[in-house]
A and B are shown apart, each in its own frame.
Chain A
């Protein structure tokens, strides 16, 4: 009896090995590999699930690693699609084909206990560059400002630098955190803290300030009034291969776009 179970299990394993090996043999049926920005990753995973539900014969593998790593993976042929949560540089734009799958607002967040709820772009730049050091200077309490930024490889940081800092540098005294979650955690716990995260991640625990008087909401982004917006890109090297194109087309379908909006993103067009 025990022997028979053992034999059956072995047979099942063998069958599994043969069939999964078979998948790799035909290129069209191998999984679409999607690698890159950790900001896009959760949304891409969600869409991949939906896609696999609709097309049970296809598979999409989503991996993180960061925007730049995603581009490198596409360039080396390791990935079919790269995820990039920032604008491409001119050289990159020449090398890759990019499709905007959605847009994401960038929110400047403070603690709920902080009386400041509106800042100008110039003030935000001053705070992050270290020129403005106390909340009093921007209409708040007489407390030191604790600036929180992301690590240098972060796509979110890259966007923040492009959209807000321009030529100025983020202060050396800024605290560096490795994830949006860690930034949230710190701002939530510290009344003097200020940080930046994706608009879709703000939630109830934090306060997103008005920037130049405009509220950070998806509506204001769509109306073109809220300026801190970044594109979320799917990048391919040259024209997309058929299986990759099929997934990209699926992501651009109205129902997929709605699913992204429900998650806090802003639709591509």
Chain B
């Protein structure tokens, strides 16, 4: 009994250390980044598209628009494929194939992002330049690379959500004379809806935070991208490109970029959490 209590105390300590780590990082990033936002005004910081550290101009609109466009593109591409894959794996593929395919897709998550970036630069970028126009380094290239990178996250969580739907739903639908496809998209997808939304939002978090691959295929310009073929600099790329040498106000502005990112991801994760809570409370199927 006593031993149990000691071990549980140790485990509790370890669990709390994760929270401690998070709060330390949050405090540090906010402490470094917030003062400059207050100094130049949140509006100017977020809405101005003039980023020129040497002249003291810190506006991150291009990066915010860039991150949003790239993430949206990645979700359109990655989300569509992941959802299709999850449906096939749970509803249509023979179980043996699922047993092989799911681990293979999860293996994608283990490939380092620099490898994705390199493959993107070597194959995707020239393809876009030659067949679609523009410089090749673009929102589209970044979206496709990120779409592939979020595939394992979204697919495996969606598969779990679909598998968690009670078997009786499926049996009932089939018994009523619905086809397998009708059952899949009218019953199973709906019943697993909140889990799938949570999966997409988690994938989004990954896409927003990805850095290396995006630097390699995005082009990193300071101009606001106007279309999918324009080059783009994301929030993360901005930090990574300039952190190494930034001092003074410039460094603070990069931390403020980090704060923006932090807030964005916190919002995404909170929404994901809220949505998946709703699922477990049983209110998913209306």
The answer to whether residues A175 and B135 also contact, given A152-B53, A185-B121, A190-B129 and a CB cut-off of 8 A, is yes
| Min CB gap A53→B, angstroms | 32
B126 with A189: CB separation less than 8 A = yes
User: What is the interface size of chain B, counting residues whose CB is below 8 A from a CB of the partner?
Assistant: 23
Interface residues of A in 144-158 (CB under 8 A from B): 146, 151-153
B223 with A173: CB separation less than 8 A = yes
User: What is the interface size of chain A, counting residues whose CB is below 8 A from a CB of the partner?
Assistant: 22
- Beyond A152-B245, A176-B241, A189-B125, 8 additional contacts (C-beta under 8 Å) are A146-B135, A151-B220, A153-B242, A153-B244, A173-B231, A178-B215, A189-B129, A190-B129
- Measured between beta carbons, the chain B residues less than 8 angstroms from A193 are 135
A176 with B223: CB separation less than 8 A = no
Interface residues of A in 86-110 (CB under 8 A from B): none
The answer to whether residues A176 and B245 also contact, given A146-B135, A190-B136 and a CB cut-off of 8 A, is no
- Measured between beta carbons, the chain A residues less than 8 angstroms from B137 are 175, 186
The answer to whether residues A172 and B242 also contact, given A152-B53, A190-B135 and a CB cut-off of 8 A, is no
Per-position 1/0 for A175-216, Cβ under 8 A of B:
111100010011001100100000000000000000000000
Alpha-carbon gap, A177 to B215, bound state (A): 8
Alpha-carbon gap, A241 to B161, bound state (A): 67
Instruction: Answer yes or no: A66 CB below 8 A from chain B CBs.
Output: yes
Alpha-carbon gap, A151 to B237, bound state (A): 11
| Min CB gap B97→A, angstroms | 39
A68 with B219: CB separation less than 8 A = no
Alpha-carbon gap, A185 to B126, bound state (A): 11
Most buried by B among A66, A151, A176, A193: A176
Instruction: Answer yes or no: B222 CB below 8 A from chain A CBs.
Output: yes
Alpha-carbon gap, A176 to B216, bound state (A): 10
Instruction: Answer yes or no: B233 CB below 8 A from chain A CBs.
Output: yes
Instruction: Select which of A172, A177, A178, A182 is within 8 A of B222 by beta carbon.
Output: A172
Instruction: Answer yes or no: B260 CB below 8 A from chain A CBs.
Output: no
A66 with B245: CB separation less than 8 A = yes
Interface residues of B in 31-68 (CB under 8 A from A): 52-54
Instruction: Answer yes or no: A163 CB below 8 A from chain B CBs.
Output: no
A175 with B231: CB separation less than 8 A = yes
Instruction: Answer yes or no: B221 CB below 8 A from chain A CBs.
Output: yes
Q: List 27 A-B contacts (CB under 8 A).
A: A66-B244, A66-B245, A69-B244, A146-B135, A151-B220, A151-B242, A152-B241, A152-B245, A153-B244, A153-B245, A169-B52, A172-B222, A172-B223, A173-B221, A174-B221, A175-B221, A176-B219, A176-B221, A176-B233, A177-B220, A178-B241, A182-B216, A185-B121, A186-B137, A189-B126, A189-B136, A190-B129
Interface residues of B in 174-223 (CB under 8 A from A): 215-216, 219-223
B220 with A176: CB separation less than 8 A = yes
Instruction: Give the nearest-CB partner of A146 in chain B.
Output: B135
B221 with A172: CB separation less than 8 A = yes
| Min CB gap A160→B, angstroms | 14
B136 with A69: CB separation less than 8 A = no
| Min CB gap B175→A, angstroms | 59
Alpha-carbon gap, A190 to B127, bound state (A): 11
- The 9 tightest CB contacts between A and B, nearest first, are A153-B245, A176-B220, A172-B222, A175-B219, A172-B223, A173-B223, A146-B135, A151-B241, A68-B245
Alpha-carbon gap, A65 to B223, bound state (A): 27
| Min CB gap B66→A, angstroms | 12
Instruction: Give the nearest-CB partner of A177 in chain B.
Output: B220
